């Protein structure tokens, strides 16, 4: 493939994650974007449980039952000749580790804010990750068909709470029961829906009067408020700064209602024009450009049993440079061994298809018999390099687990090991061969119990522990001595590395005072 063709393919790619606080409408917006792109025929709103219509991105049975996303999913489709990769992430803070890793694989982010609630705690955490990486952020203020905070108040909140400039691309015509549509400030266009729920648009010329055109659409008070706010924004608002958007310092803001599709088409059209295509990435050998002739990528997620019938395991690879071809041989940086990529797949939530080629920005699923770990980098050349470590959170909740039926021990060990390799949980073993489960959030316990039963046929006994902190011991010989002399719980993680689990901060500080020469670290990644 020549350089020009490769660059054309790169320019077509838009890869983004959608982040929000739980219940802000993240999965619903994802569905409407898929619907716009013709990827699905009916949006399975997360509220439509009785009719058994489920969100396309919620592929796990537990997600369908609870109406929440508990794992990141990947959806790919084409719209207006753009190849779009959407990564729908869990909103719940208990699954933030999965979300944080997913954010490493995208070129931009869509941040959804509930108009009534404004900027919420989980949004602040996820925003900080994006800001630290300089990821361009596009804001969609959702649920305008309900009463909420005034738009100008929300802009102030974005700047004060998140510390980012905002520029409204469109502006709501009313709110709640008086919500009639949006006015596009960039294209000077009105978008509304008539009584038949048909989308109507009208571009304004210099001679057109906004008040006259809206007379048949909105009431007098709504129109007057719109004109006052638009005048204020023009005179005192931030000027649009595309360079600041690209650096993640200014966020373009869109208003709408994902449930009713108000403002969603406008948002998508502007997003595709403004959002970056795949960019160069930092690596152990410096910046790697996407149009490099050498193929490279990294694994940001591993998922077991997406197809329960085949008990498969898929490694999600973000392509960073070069052209990916089915059957190609690559080198794994961690092991320096070669791997043939024989069954590459692209995804639409739980459905998938074998592909022949892919390009930077694309997410490819690799069949994984146990080769890959989260954070692995693969390269076409034997002279390998890596894209750095992915974040790993130390667990804060612990429990002893075992199979209720001793005859299921083989299935129990297989399930525990596979789920640990996904990175969603951490597994430890005591000297007495007891299994301890460590998680970041309490809800992960429920997901673990559910998946062990549904995917491995194992019922569990679970005994919660009072411990709160895990620290890795840098020198294995120190662990041997501590097992004999310390009252603290010294265990091994699933890669046989020694870990101390403490009950609280006090017991950790007491240990550090008694053993100043023993070095402890927060993450197993620090031991690589």
User: What secondary structure, in 3-state letters, does 198-254 show?
Assistant: CEEEEECCCCCCHHHHHCCCCCHHHHHHHHHHHHHHHHHCCCCCHHHHHCCCEEEEE
CA atoms lying within 13 Å on the CB side of residue 236: 7
Over 50: is that where the pLDDT of 52 sits?
Answer: no
Q: Residues comprising the binding site?
A: 20-27, 88-92, 142-145
Specify the higher pLDDT residue, 63 or 375: 375
Over 50: is that where the pLDDT of 51 sits?
Answer: no
> Could you please report the per-residue DSSP string of 359-428?
-TT-EEEEE-SS---TT-EEESSSS-----PPP-PPP-EEEEEEESSGGGHHHHHHHHHHHHHTTSSEEE
pLDDT of residue 116: 95
Q: What is the pLDDT of residues 450-475, one digit of tens each?
A: 888 888 899 999 999 999 899 999 88
Q: What is the pLDDT of residues 503-519, one digit of tens each?
A: 999 999 999 998 898 99
Specify the higher pLDDT residue, 456 or 117: 117
Over 80: is that where the pLDDT of 45 sits?
Answer: no
Q: What is the pLDDT of residues 170-182, one digit of tens each?
A: 999 999 988 888 9
Lowest-pLDDT choice from 50-59, 119-128, 330-339, 437-446:
50-59
Over 50: is that where the pLDDT of 332 sits?
Answer: yes
Express as a percent the part of the chain with pLDDT over 90: 43
pLDDT of residue 451: 82
Q: Residues comprising the binding site for GTP?
A: 20-27, 88-92, 142-145
pLDDT of residue 254: 97
The stretch 82-110 carries a mean pLDDT of 76
Q: What is the pLDDT of residues 54-93, one digit of tens each?
A: 444 443 454 445 444 434 567 888 888 899 998 876 644 5
The stretch 242-259 carries a mean pLDDT of 94
User: Residue 183: beta bridge partners?
Assistant: 171, 190
Over 70: is that where the pLDDT of 322 sits?
Answer: yes
pLDDT of residue 396: 84
């Amino acid at each position: 493939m020549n350089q020009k063709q490769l660059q054309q393919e790169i320019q077509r790619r838009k890869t983004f994650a959608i982040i929000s606080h739980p219940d802000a409408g993240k999965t619903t917006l994802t569905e409407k974007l898929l619907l716009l792109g013709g990827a699905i025929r009916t949006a399975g709103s997360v509220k439509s449980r009785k009719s058994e219509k489920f969100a396309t991105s919620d592929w796990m049975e537990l997600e369908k039952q609870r109406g929440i996303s508990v794992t990141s999913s990947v959806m790919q489709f084409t719209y207006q000749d753009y190849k779009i990769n959407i990564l729908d992430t869990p909103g719940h803070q208990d699954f933030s580790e999965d979300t944080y890793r997913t954010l490493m694989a995208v070129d931009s982010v869509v941040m959804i804010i509930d108009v009534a609630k404004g900027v919420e705690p989980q949004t602040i955490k996820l925003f900080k990750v994006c800001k630290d990486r300089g990821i361009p952020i596009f804001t969609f203020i959702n649920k305008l068909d309900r009463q909420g905070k005034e738009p100008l108040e929300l802009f102030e909140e974005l700047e004060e709470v998140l510390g980012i400039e905002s520029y409204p691309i469109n502006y709501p015509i009313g709110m709640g029961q008086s919500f009639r549509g949006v006015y596009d400030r960039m294209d000077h266009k009105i978008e509304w829906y008539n009584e038949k729920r048909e989308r109507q648009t009208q571009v304004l010329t210099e001679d057109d009067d906004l008040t006259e055109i809206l007379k048949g659409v909105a009431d007098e008070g709504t129109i007057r408020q719109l004109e006052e706010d638009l005048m204020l924004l023009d005179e005192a608002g931030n000027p649009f700064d595309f360079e600041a958007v690209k650096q993640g310092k200014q966020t373009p803001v869109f208003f709408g209602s994902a449930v009713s599709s108000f403002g969603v088409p406008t948002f998508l059209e502007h997003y595709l024009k403004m959002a970056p295509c795949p960019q160069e990435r930092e690596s152990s050998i410096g910046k790697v450009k996407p149009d490099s002739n050498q193929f490279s990528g990294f694994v940001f997620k591993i998922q077991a049993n997406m197809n329960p019938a085949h008990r498969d395991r898929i490694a999600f690879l973000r392509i960073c440079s070069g052209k990916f071809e089915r059957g190609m041989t690559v080198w794994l940086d961690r092991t320096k061994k070669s791997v043939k990529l024989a069954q590459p797949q692209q995804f639409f939530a739980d459905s998938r298809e074998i592909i022949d080629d892919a390009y930077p920005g694309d997410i490819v699923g690799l069949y994984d018999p146990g080769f890959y770990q989260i954070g692995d980098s693969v390269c076409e050349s034997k002279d390998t390099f890596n894209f750095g470590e992915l974040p790993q959170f130390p667990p804060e909740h612990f429990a002893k687990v075992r199979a209720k039926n001793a005859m299921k021990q083989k299935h129990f060990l297989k399930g525990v090991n596979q789920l640990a390799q996904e990175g969603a949980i951490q597994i430890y073993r005591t000297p007495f061969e007891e299994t301890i489960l460590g998680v970041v959030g309490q809800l992960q316990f429920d997901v673990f119990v559910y998946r062990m039963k549904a995917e491995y046929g194992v019922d569990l006994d679970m005994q919660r522990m009072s411990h709160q902190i895990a620290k890795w011991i840098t020198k294995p010989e120190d662990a041997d001595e501590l097992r004999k002399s310390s009252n603290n719980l010294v265990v091994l993680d699933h890669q046989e590395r020694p870990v101390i689990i403490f009950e609280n901060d006090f017991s950790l500080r007491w240990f550090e005072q008694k053993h100043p020469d023993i070095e402890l670290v927060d993450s197993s990644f620090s031991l690589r």
